[in-house]
Structure 1
């Protein structure tokens, strides 16, 4: 159990998958992770495995199809062996550390490796959807390159909740990788989400996802995610005032 009593994982089902991969879908730049993992969870028909609750999360009520639900949830499936981490609200800076520690102490024992998604602003239309990877272990570095994903060049910093999760996995000896995706930094970007699924997650995790909906329902998805995007921008502005500017991805 997580030592920080304000944030805890409440497991609802027993995990039957063998050595699953956790894919993180928390709101970040362009909401690429959130959109991509929403689609993966739906396409693979993953079942809710548990929830993460915290006094540090925003005091709001999340709902779907007329029913209230916990804002931060963990889903799981057996074939393929996949877990997803999703949130209906941005993770505010004061909750980042406790959430990351909760994942590492309470959830990590159930997955074999973690794949995180971080956004980077695209400098041109042609860059949208470009993906590079960063790994914490030799094995994952090899898996990234075998999947046809280029490793990130040079140095940089990954901030926000994704950076905290990656850091804690690194120091906790939990195999993890982050896929850095170029996206539109100003609006929710279903196109970039589609690209990271098809060009990176599918070959890396070895599953098949139908991404046509992300194009066909692009405007609807953007409308649904706009409120989250606006709140996230406020959090990112606060964090950027406190973080170094060198190659910051979120």
Structure 2
């Protein structure tokens, strides 16, 4: 089954910017996307039904209604869409999920911002952020002053598969890669993603003080999710250096 089921057809989008929040290293994409959804009070726009996604039902506190584990949220005023995922995606299903979403990307003419963490041991210096692109996406990186990668690498999981789909279809898209804690949820890296990458590209202004002030609470809240990620054989999405002859 491949279907994007709109639940709020009163929302109108015009070639929106899309922020992708599949979980990966440091949960940076998920933390950043969840924060943007809450801060901008984005509306539940659609449920994602893709072969390859876990067949589970999600429910919320004080709400009887169940929904899909992967959903789309929208901010009509900013022409912004976010993918929210409450489950890790098995790496073996990444290509299937990416192909499913690519069909909707084409129909909606979205400009995707894909998010990934690059595992680095934490120290006192702020995490570095750099950008990669397909099509003419590099122009958005230039406008946002996001630097080039300092070394060769690859992006795996659903994020890598969606970048591969964008490359194959010559779609304008960007990937933001941030240095992240390889073992634990990393709100600081998520803050860098938003401040230095997502906001300048999407034209949004997202307060991020809470990501730093409440870092301990965020880590604790995401810890169970992170444990499930660590128990998997691979991260759902991650960037990693390409250690081979070029």
Match of 2:7 among 9, 12, 15: 12
The gaps in structure 1 that reach 5 residues or longer are none
Residue by residue, what CA displacement relative to the aligned partner does 1:173-199 show, whole Å, maximum 9, x if unpaired?
Answer: 221110001011110011111111111
- Who is 2:89 aligned against? 91
CA contact (8 A) 1:117 1:180 kept: yes
Distance in 2 (alpha carbons) for counterparts of 1:96 and 1:86: 16
Distance in 2 (alpha carbons) for counterparts of 1:172 and 1:181: 25
- Who is 2:157 aligned against? 160
Distance in 2 (alpha carbons) for counterparts of 1:134 and 1:157: 10
Distance in 1 (alpha carbons) for counterparts of 2:20 and 2:243: 21
Match of 1:108 among 91, 106, 109: 106
Computed over aligned residues only, the root mean square deviation of the Cα atoms, in angstroms, reads: 2.3
Match of 1:23 among 14, 19, 23: 19
Distance in 2 (alpha carbons) for counterparts of 1:112 and 1:57: 21
- Who is 1:196 aligned against? 193
Distance apart, 1:83 and its partner CA: 0.4
Distance apart, 1:11 and its partner CA: 1.9
Equivalences for residues 59-98 of structure 1 within 5 A: 59-67=55-63, 68-98=66-96
Distance apart, 1:220 and its partner CA: 1.8
Task: Give the alignment's TM-score, normalised by structure 1.
Answer: 0.87
The gaps in structure 2 that reach 5 residues or longer are none
> What secondary structure does 2:44 align onto?
strand
Distance in 2 (alpha carbons) for counterparts of 1:216 and 1:108: 39
Match of 2:210 among 189, 210, 213: 213
Higher deviation after alignment, 72-81 or 223-232: 223-232
Distance apart, 1:92 and its partner CA: 1.3
Distance apart, 1:59 and its partner CA: 4.2
| Aligned residues between the structures | 239
Task: Give the alignment's TM-score, normalised by structure 2.
Answer: 0.88
Distance apart, 1:215 and its partner CA: 1.7
Distance in 2 (alpha carbons) for counterparts of 1:159 and 1:179: 13
